[in-house]
Structure 1
């Protein structure tokens, strides 16, 4: 790369080869000057320092009008430095008594538990992207589907037997929880992988609905919300997990029924599971996912 000018074509910046790894380039017509928008999808591994460094470098080089993040307003706290606190069983039981979504409680516990064992906080690349955009006054857009919608749809679509089986699996796998040192070693061995999506894929072999609600539906949602943003700007960098790259690309400029993707199940359906399964299962939530990392690392 001799100069930044050398990497421009008709005023449009082109990423140098060393920054193009795990980047998908899309485009669309736009109301912005020039009538076109270049979209750079940067795929990350979510728990990778290398991903954080690439995100920082790409945004610093391109300085896009908009930085689009795989986050929603309910997860905006990720953009601030994190103090990791793993919820106690008592705190999780209290959330359940207040009719908080059971899967949401499990998911939150998992993130906190895993994060407490990692060198890189899950989602750190989003904070890096936000901070880089702030340096030059770029706009930041949170473009993912609201997490409460995703979690409620995920839990409601699981048959009661699958809910029971999922929690039982977590309890059983808790016996094989890797040490913090071993977990970080495994993640480094799989540094080029979107770990969360990989584990969801593994779990979907037993629980088929997980892949649909946690990945495929969000692919469609983010592809549509990203296109809406792109049609009003000339350049966008979107930071998403590598597991979403192909789905967003496949649905680019395709019709997406956003209303359908935002439909919520009834409250009764969202919390229908026995008290025993909920209270006991919460205590060991997330273990199956960590175990999935271990299984994947041995393939």
Structure 2
């Protein structure tokens, strides 16, 4: 960016800021540890609008920013440099982004609406229609594009681990796994069977999944039958969504059981007061940020339990019902401690333009209204400001706005001003 300004010697330097955000960038490098003590951050977050969960979330964001600053990482530093360089070369500095209050308030309103819709979907049968294998596959795709190592640790490595365990079983087996692992395990199974000379597994050409043949259970890929040609084992793989009540019913139907387990449903409000949850989270391993993250998640679970939703109930059902039918119960997943190794490289997200394009495309499909407020509307606002500038201009914007502004510019130059929009 500095090289661009030196070579261009612009008349105007435009930055993706509004007037309010300019004041924030001015104090970026003057940060001091004593100005961001945990006590001050906690007080500041508790004064923020919203409920307790929102306040805890804001505190976690403050704390993460504090750690970034302590490590010499200052988000938004490029805008501060751009404003300083504009003064050095004698160029005017122009803020082209819309007011943060407009986009920020709209964003949090939409985020709160999305959360309410999520809670509503969890408490109704709508969740069973929404959380299909294709929907879960799209969510996993977003994670893989944005944080490939996290996806490798949390999904791919565990797929291989569970696949290896499942291939070692004999007889009839019912395996209950999260739906995000269905594609990986089924693909590994197919590759393994194709390498074997005797291929006894039959795959549906229409649905693209191994069919189970159990009456009364849909053939939508949530339950598949994997046949091991080496030892004639039959693995009934059940994909579940941990917040979905229908997952419990599916497990019971596959195992042909009548009564569900009730131990996990003995939850009482007095056993999960905020004080008890806070004490529990402070005793958890890890740093303060992880402790507050644990408390935040516990608060979320508390609300779900109050609504009659018990994440993971299907696993408890499977364990208890296995004893009722005289079947052995095996744990096929990796040790949970291995999942947290991604913390060491959580900053490995690729900041390439193609990566940002893929992530934005997924966001647009899942939450069009949020994408419109945070990306499209701001693209149009900054585009309009840039079109009004004269002379040589260097504009510094986030990479997520590059495609939109370029497209709007191309359409304006081609004279199609009546159809200036993002497609």
Q: TM-score, normalised by structure 1?
A: 0.51
Paired residues of 1:56 and 1:132 also in contact (CA < 8 A): yes
* SS of 2:73 mapped into structure 1: coil
Q: Shift of residue 72 of structure 1?
A: 0.6
Please identify which structure carries the higher strand content. 1
Q: Deviations over 1:274-298 (max 9, x none)?
A: xxxxxxxxxxxxxxxxxxxxxxxxx
* SS of 1:156 mapped into structure 2: helix
Give me the whole-angstrom Cα distance separating, in 2, the residues matched to 1:216 and 1:165.
24
Q: Shift of residue 93 of structure 1?
A: 2.3
Paired residues of 2:41 and 2:62 also in contact (CA < 8 A): no
Q: TM-score, normalised by structure 2?
A: 0.38
Paired residues of 1:72 and 1:142 also in contact (CA < 8 A): yes
Give the match for residue 62 of structure 1: 8
Give me the whole-angstrom Cα distance separating, in 1, the residues matched to 2:102 and 2:357.
18
Moved more, 237-246 or 75-84: 75-84
Q: Shift of residue 80 of structure 1?
A: 3.8
Tell me how large the CA RMSD over aligned residues is. Answer: 4.2
Please identify which structure carries the higher helix content. 2
Give me the whole-angstrom Cα distance separating, in 1, the residues matched to 2:49 and 2:341.
25
Give me the whole-angstrom Cα distance separating, in 2, the residues matched to 1:211 and 1:115.
28
Give me the whole-angstrom Cα distance separating, in 1, the residues matched to 2:116 and 2:72.
31
Q: How does 1:1-299 map to 2 (within 5 A)?
A: 55-76=1-22, 77-82=24-29, 83=31, 85=36, 88-96=41-49, 110=61, 113-114=64-65, 116-117=67-68, 119-158=72-111, 160-163=113-116, 165=118, 171-172=296-297, 179=343, 182-184=345-347, 186-187=348-349, 190-193=350-353, 206-228=366-388, 230=389, 233-252=390-409, 253=412, 254=417
Give me the whole-angstrom Cα distance separating, in 2, the residues matched to 1:214 and 1:79.
23
**Structure 2: stretches of 5+ with no match in the other structure:** 123-292, 301-338
Larger Rg: 2
Moved more, 152-161 or 219-228: 152-161
* SS of 1:95 mapped into structure 2: coil
Give the match for residue 295 of structure 1: none
Q: Deviations over 1:204-258 (max 9, x none)?
A: 5554322111111100110001112x2xx2110100112211111222344699x
Paired residues of 2:28 and 2:74 also in contact (CA < 8 A): no
| Matched pairs, number | 191
Give me the whole-angstrom Cα distance separating, in 1, the residues matched to 2:351 and 2:369.
26
